[in-house]
Amino acid sequence: IKESVGITNQFLLISGAATLVVALLLVYFFARRFIRPIRELSRVAGSMARLDFSDRYKGSGRDELADLGTSINSMSASLEHTISDLKSANLQLLYDVEAKTRQDEARRAFITNVSHELKTPIALIGAYAEGLKEDIADGAANRDYYCEVIEDEAQKMSELIKRLTMLM
């Protein structure tokens, strides 16, 4: 009986160890089969987080992980298209802002030039009108000269205003 018990114990020990090794190998291979797609999905999601949308999930099957991979691929393509559109819109916006800035600078320069061009005739008209008022112009010839200068400067201002109106 002791010998039978010893043989049985030895058989159980060897068969238990063999079963344990086989079970561990089976668990390892099944775990790898389930973990591999999860790792690949994680890698693809990491690429998307770094804005690299060229990486795709290549797994196959009909399980939930394959569905998730298909959804991630679809989301990646959609994000790539959307970000591309946003970049194009951003470039167009930058171009528009530059054009607007150039236009504002040209408008400021134009207004500065116009105000300078208007100051001179206004100053001359004011000075000659004050001279007439103070009766500095002795004689009709001087008064006529003063009036001619005022008329000439008024005509220049009128012409400048016509040009401005046409530009606007």
- Alpha-carbon distance 139 to 147, whole Å? 13
**Token reading at 26:** 């089976």
Q: What is the pLDDT of residues 138-162, one digit of tens each?
A: 777 777 888 888 888 888 888 888 8
**Token reading at 27:** 């668990």
Long-range pairs for 129-135: beta carbons < 8 A, 24 or more residues apart: none
Q: What is the pLDDT of residues 82-112, one digit of tens each?
A: 999 999 999 999 999 999 999 999 888 888 8
In SS3 terms, 38-75 reads as HHHHHHHHHHHHCCCCCCCCCCCCCCHHHHHHHHHHHH
- Report the pLDDT value the prediction gives residue 148, as an integer from 0 to 100: 86
Structure-model confidence comparison of residues 134 and 52, the more confident one = 52
- Report the pLDDT value the prediction gives residue 118, as an integer from 0 to 100: 81
- Report the pLDDT value the prediction gives residue 76, as an integer from 0 to 100: 93
- Alpha-carbon distance 108 to 155, whole Å? 25
Task: Name the pTM for this structure.
Answer: 0.56
The residue type of 6 is G
pLDDT grade, residue 137 (50/70/90)?
A: low
Taking all residues of the chain, what is their mean pLDDT, rounded to a whole number? 89
Name which of 49-53, 65-69, 123-127 the model is least confident about: 123-127
- Report the pLDDT value the prediction gives residue 129, as an integer from 0 to 100: 83
Average pLDDT for 57-73? 88
